Amino acid sequence: MSVESCPKCKSTNLIRQTGTDEPSTKYGRLICSDCGKFLKWLRDPSVSLNHLTRQESIDSMLESQKLNQWERSFLQNIYEKRSLSPKQQAKYEEVYKRVSPVVNTTRDKESADCYE
């Protein structure tokens, strides 16, 4: 959903509010500065970066012969997920650590950052 103007007042003066002003599970919100209408929730950009890094890592791991059938299926299932549950993250890290000697070391360091 791309928002270029406020649907209520047609203003193009939109504000991206981010930060810890109030407790929220969202990164921020987009609002109209003229009428104050809430337009949409904003995604945390670090989640998108971690997601892309994880996808690159999964691509490399799927090329490995060290994966069993369940691990291969698991990695394929989490490939498109933007965020993982704690159990999924723990299993992903376990598989990554076991397979990572096969994956090139530069990519290992970049992929390890996605859990921090």
Say if residue 102's pLDDT is above 70.
no
* Segment 2-48, tens digit of pLDDT: 568 899 999 999 988 877 555 555 678 889 999 999 998 887 666 66
pLDDT computed for residue 108 by the predictor: 47
Whole-prediction pTM: 0.50
What percent of the chain is predicted at pLDDT more than 70? Answer: 72
pLDDT computed for residue 100 by the predictor: 77
The candidate with the shortest Cα–Cα distance to 95, out of 59, 116, 66, 115, is 66
pLDDT computed for residue 2 by the predictor: 57
**What's the burial of 76, exposed, middle or buried (CB within 10 Å: 0-12/13-18/19+)?**
exposed
N residues, the chain? 116
